[in-house]
Amino acid sequence: MWLPNPVYERISQFWLFLGLMFIGSGIYLGPDYTLSLLYFAVGFACVIWSVCVFVMRSRHRINPVRPRIRDDMDYEDEVEDEVEQRTGQPT
């Protein structure tokens, strides 16, 4: 499933906002409410997921993974053949 670019770029911010809302709701309800601990847990999980998504995207943008295509494989074979010719040893 493909998402539009503006939606895709804002997903990590959405998770952060959702996590902060859950944490805020847990604080608002207080420790006397039985589900407030669950609100905190879900909130922290959303915040952690938001940070993970942000870090994964940052790493990918710094060092993007290029898909291998047929031309790349042919080029690598040519380079290996050239190295083999120069050194006399198979690679």
Regions of the chain short of the pLDDT cut 50: none
pLDDT of residue 44: 97
Whole-prediction pTM value?
Answer: 0.64
pLDDT of residue 78: 63
pLDDT of residue 62: 74
What is the number of alpha carbons within 13 Å of residue 78 lying toward its C-beta? Answer: 6
